DNA sequence: GTGTAATCGAGACGGTACGTCTCGTCTTCTG
DNA sequence: CAGAAGACGAGACGTACCGTCTCGATTACAC
């Protein structure tokens, strides 16, 4: 995953000699990984299958990514660059609702959903993937949500004794839960209910909260 | 997983012919699977390793379980037989708190935690395991929690417009979330916060909710 | 293989206690072995397949025979009890021709041919089978053929300096050779040619020998 | 066995892509197979044992040979490249004696003998091995022996009515017979007797044939 | 232009684990 | 109480991927 931190400034700086890496190969690999995850999950998306599908040799993949999970992670992040922004001026409820809605929409995508499921699966047995997933996917989104909650506390929308980290878990966890276990639908109605029922308790004055859940 | 559907009456009724299955082997396999999951997760707990550790041939494992995940599931359920009961006479808050606490306690166990992580990992790529995990682990506990919420509604402790299925997700999801991503601690304080912040919104009268988070 | 030497007189003599061995089982096992050898050779005639086909448990087979080859051998011998006799008053040529013809006829049988092929195959890796095959099948027939040759020498039909053991090989070997390698037909014409061309040289006076080969 | 069809011109012409096959691995596999056959026959020379002994993975063996027998065959042929030539100017008797002697000498080799025994054993249950053994080992040697006999007929050394194919069987069969059944010695004396007793009858004038057995 | 150096594809390599098969032994229940 | 049914430990089977390696061929900058 290390090499993916390459940014523009490097281009001019320490220009490596020899043939530069192929942009085509990188794109083909990520696309192939996504397609295969979609078709049959991590079980089908073997390194060999990805290489074959992408018309690339295995060595080329290993040259740039340390593991299958790293490819999946980068492929996932690729399609997700800018979901972290929230419109300004929203209430705490609407801001969280926006974030949950964006997450659900992403995971409903027929490529992204399986990719994330596969990533979570890999993370259970690959500590490096788990770390990367936490740092590069989870943490940034948690930070934004935490900021939303904290500003809610400052503005008096949210009670002062609330544990922010726990709130963030309460906001996102149910979404991943349904993705991972697949016991129930993952749609907009769920997002409404989820944030509604959560916020009703996070408000300082919670009169008639239950009805506000819809 | 098939053999676990054996119920009492079968013992006397349709006795299978031939040598009956070895109790020793079954116990050794489940124990070995648990130990290996603890030591290095699903990556280390290969069928071959389990068989070797248990002093058993691979064929014996495959005779009774269709996959590695099925062994892990049964091994997990083995240590968990009757955790689904709740003391009578508890308030909705206390009943949910009891369940969350029991779940966290179970997952804190150095064998059960890794087993469940491994199971969830497997379930992402093995639909059969996913199904078994939902039906044999998740569903019974969800049913009990749902019953708690429903009786809370009847008793007026919980608002009438609450979506019970969503509440159940809100109760359990954050626990699995921290288990799966490992981004934060999974302890009693978390259980308190979780149920407290959730319930504060589920009560019809939510005055001073923030402080009820303990 | 030892127990198969049980003959009638034993029945009255040392009457074994307990239930006597089942004649049905023995016959069914030998028949099943023969059928399976016919169908697909030694590869198909596994102990498990033989037991199943015969409606017998594997333990029953192992109680009476030490190995698969031993079953095949006895099954083969079963259909071959009295091929060792030769009509009296034949010339050396005709006596040998009779034996070769009987052997070829036997090996042309759709059960016996594959059985013998399988036995020879097993004998290459199972010294016990090899020994039993030599002692119980090969040796008796070699003894008779040798006697034929020896009496031919006495009567002056065969030269005195002939090595009898080598002659016996020359008589039988080409038959097994074609059975084992399958490079050419195994029929009556072959028997004629074989003994004819061989005898022409074994006669003391070999004028016009070549023409006597047909 | 496929790779053995490679002929000289390919080397320079159509260079295969990818990493070329390892010469070391091929040699180690054939050597290991030979050693193991010598030590305990086909029973000991399992694919797994060969792979382990050769320091090679099973996949590498299966990449180049379809079965255990194919490895044994190529290992056998390896040590036998050009034994098919016969010195010029020999009589029919001496030419056949030369061939039988060469065959016996080869089969007396502590590696080649067991290898051929194993091959014959395998050929009884593996049609593909049987075919390869016939075509690549037996047929060429039979063709040469047949040519010897035919030129003997032309030169008047051998009777005109002789069946050449049967003669070839008579020449070689007794050698394989003793190898396969192990009932008697396989040495030079046997070769002398064998060809002597056979030729005495194949000569047009067979006076004093018995003494010609040397 | 011509080196030169890192890229690329292809695919062989030593491993490990897979899930299946048969072996020969054993254990239990049934007829 | 013999025997069928079949579970058991053992271990080979042939396959699939793993991650590494060795090739020849291909770029694209640097001289």
**Residues B51-76: pLDDT tens digits?**
999 999 999 999 999 999 999 999 99
Band of residue B15 on the pLDDT scale cut at 50, 70, 90: low
CA distances from D207 to B3, C94, D9 (A): 84, 22, 54
| B12 is near strand E: CB distance < 7 Å | no
Nucleotide nearest to A48 in CA–C1' terms: F17
Backbone φ and ψ for C107, nearest 5 degrees, come out as -75, -15
Q: Are A196 and A174 in contact (CB under 8 A)?
A: no
Task: State the pLDDT at residue D179.
Answer: 97
Q: Which residues on D lie below 8 Å from C138 (Cβ)?
A: 181, 183
Please report which confidence band the pLDDT of residue C199 belongs to, taking 50, 70 and 90 as the band edges. Answer: confident
CA of C50 and C1' of F1: distance in angstroms?
A: 25
pLDDT at A122 over 80: yes
pLDDT of D98 > 70? The answer is: yes
How much is the pLDDT for B18?
A: 84
pLDDT at D147: 93
How much of chain D, in percent, has pLDDT values that exceed 90?
Answer: 65
Cα separation of the two ends of chain A? 42
Does the nearest atom of strand E lie within 7 Å of B57's Cβ? yes
Q: B touches D (3+ CB pairs < 8 Å)?
A: no
Q: How far apart are the first and last CA of chain D?
A: 42
pLDDT band at A211 (very low <50, low <70, confident <90, very high): very low
If phi > 0 it is left, if psi is from -120 to 50 it is alpha, else beta; for residue B208 that is: left
Residues C137, C77 contacting (CB under 8 angstroms): yes
pLDDT above 60 for B148: yes
Selecting from B124, B133, B172 the residue whose C-beta is nearest the C-beta of A118 gives B124
- Which of B48, D204, B31, A88 is closest to C213 using CA atoms? D204
- Interface A-B, measured as beta-carbon pairs within 8 A, has a size of 188
How far B90 CA lies from chain A's nearest CA (Å)?
Answer: 21
Residue of A nearest to B43 (CA): A125
Percent of chain C with pLDDT over 70: 82
How far apart, in whole angstroms, are the C-alpha atoms of residue B63 and residue B102? 33
By CB atoms closer than 10 A (0-12, 13-18, 19+), residue A77 is middle
CA of D37 to C1' of F10 (A): 22
**More confident of the two residues D5 and A40:** A40
Q: What is the pLDDT of residue A88?
A: 86
- Nearest Cα neighbor of C163 from C154, C150, C144 is C150
| Confidence at residue C81, expressed as pLDDT on a 0 to 100 scale | 66
C144 — pLDDT class (breaks 50, 70, 90): very high
pLDDT of D83: 58
Q: Which residues pair with C207 in a beta bridge?
A: D205
Length C43 CA → E21 C1' (Å) = 12
Distance D62 CA to F21 C1' (A): 20
Per-residue H/E/C for chain C: CHHHHCCHHHHHCCCCCCCCCCHHHHHHHHHHHHHHHHHHHHHHCCHHHHHHHHCCCHHHHHHHCCCHHHHHHHHHHHCCCCCCCCCCCCCHHHHHHHHHHHHHHHHHCCCHHHHHHHHHHHHCCCHHHHHHHHHHHHHHHHHHHHHHHHHHHHHCCECCCCCHHHHHHHHHHHHHHHHHHCCCCCCHHHHHHHHHHHHHHHECCEECCHHHHC
What SS3 state is found at B124? Answer: coil
Across all residues in chain C, what is the average pLDDT? 83
Q: C157 vs C148, C154, C199, D200, CA distance in Å?
A: 11, 8, 10, 15
| N- to C-terminal Cα separation, chain C | 42
Give the mean model confidence (pLDDT) for residues A159-186.
Answer: 95
pLDDT of D2: 39
> Distance of CA A60 to CAs A1, A50, A55, A73, Å?
14, 11, 10, 17
At residue D172, the pLDDT reads 97
Q: What is the mean pLDDT of residues C198-203?
A: 67
Percent of chain B predicted with pLDDT > 70: 85
Residues 6+ apart with CB under 8 A from C194: C100, C171, C174, C175, D166, D169, D170
**Chain B: residue whose CA lies nearest to A209:** B201
Mean per-residue pLDDT for A171-177? Answer: 97
Give residue C20's pLDDT.
62
- pLDDT value at residue B182: 96
Give the C-alpha separation, A73 to A134, whole Å.
11
A125:B121 CB<8 A:
yes
> Which nucleotide in the DNA or RNA is closest to residue C67, CA to C1'?
E24
Q: For residue range D66-96, what is the model confidence (pLDDT) as tens digits? A: 999 999 999 999 888 665 678 888 999 999 9
Confidence of residue A84 (pLDDT cuts 50, 70, 90): low
A78-87 long-range contacts (CB < 8 A, ≥24 apart) are: A78/A30, A79/A34, A79/A106, A79/A109, A79/A111, A79/A112, A80/A106, A80/A112, A84/A140, A84/A141, A84/A144, A86/A144, A86/A148
Which chain D residues are within 8 Å of C209, Cβ to Cβ? 159, 201, 203-204, 206
Tell me what pLDDT residue D82 has: 64
Q: Any idea which of A43-47, A56-60, C103-107, C160-164 has the lowest mean pLDDT?
A: C160-164
- Per-residue confidence (pLDDT) for residue C207, from 0 to 100: 47
**10 Å Cβ neighbour count for C13?**
7
Between D1 and C51, the higher pLDDT residue = C51
Q: Check residues D14 and C211 and name the one with the higher pLDDT.
A: D14
Query: Looking at residues C153-181, what average pLDDT do you find?
Result: 93
Per-residue confidence band for C23, with pLDDT thresholds at 50, 70 and 90: confident
Task: Return the percentage of chain B with pLDDT > 90, whole number.
Answer: 66
Report the percentage of chain A scoring pLDDT > 90.
59
Residue B203 backbone class (left: φ over 0; alpha: ψ -120 to 50; beta: rest): beta
Distance CA D188, CA D185 (A): 9
Mean confidence (pLDDT) of chain A: 85
Statement: residue C12 has pLDDT above 70: no
Task: Decide which of D6 and D117 is more confident.
Answer: D117
Picking from A49-53, C152-156, D30-34, which range would have the lowest pLDDT averaged per residue? C152-156
- Residue B206, classed as helix, strand or coil, is strand
Using CB atoms within 10 Å of the CB of residue D184, give its burial: 0 to 12 exposed, 13 to 18 middle, 19+ buried. Answer: middle
| pLDDT value at B12 more than 80 | no
Of residues A135, A134, A115, the one with CA closest to residue A73: A115
What pLDDT, in 10s, does the model give residues C76-113?
Answer: 888 776 656 788 889 999 999 999 999 999 999 988 89
In this complex, whether B and A touch, counting 3 or more CB pairs under 8 angstroms, is yes
More confident residue, D184 or B80: D184
H-helix segments, D65-161? 68-78, 92-108, 112-123, 127-133, 139-154
Average pLDDT rounded to a whole number, residues B193-213: 62
- Mean pLDDT score of chain B: 85
Question: Most distant CA pair in chain A: distance in Å?
Answer: 69
pLDDT bracket for residue C21 (50, 70, 90): low
CA distance A122 to C100: 70
Whether the pLDDT of residue B113 is over 60: the answer is yes
User: What rounded mean pLDDT belongs to chain D?
Assistant: 85
User: In angstroms, rounded to a whole number, what is the distance separating the alpha carbons of residues B98 and D139?
Assistant: 83
Q: H or E element: which one contains B178?
A: helix B164-181
């Amino acid at each position: 995953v290390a090499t993916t931190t390459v940014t523009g400034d490097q281009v001019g700086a320490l220009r490596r000699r020899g043939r530069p890496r192929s942009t085509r190969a990188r794109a083909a690999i990520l696309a192939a990984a996504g397609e295969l995850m979609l078709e049959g999950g991590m079980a089908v998306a073997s390194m060999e299958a990805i290489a074959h599908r992408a018309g690339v040799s295995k060595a080329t993949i290993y040259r740039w990514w340390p593991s299958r999970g790293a490819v999946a992670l980068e492929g996932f992040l690729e399609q997700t660059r800018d979901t972290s922004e929230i419109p300004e001026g929203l209430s705490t409820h609407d801001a969280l609702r926006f974030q949950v809605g964006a997450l659900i929409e992403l995971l409903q995508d027929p490529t992204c959903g399986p990719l994330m499921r596969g990533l979570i699966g890999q993370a259970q047995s690959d500590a490096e993937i788990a770390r990367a997933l936490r740092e590069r996917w989870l943490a940034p989104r948690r930070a934004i949500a935490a900021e939303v909650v904290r500003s809610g506390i400052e503005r008096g929308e949210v009670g002062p004794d609330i544990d922010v980290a726990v709130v963030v878990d309460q906001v996102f966890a149910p979404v991943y839960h349904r993705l991972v276990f697949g016991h129930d639908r993952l749609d907009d109605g769920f997002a409404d209910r989820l944030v509604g029922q959560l916020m009703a308790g996070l408000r300082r004055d919670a009169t008639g909260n239950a009805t506000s859940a819809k």
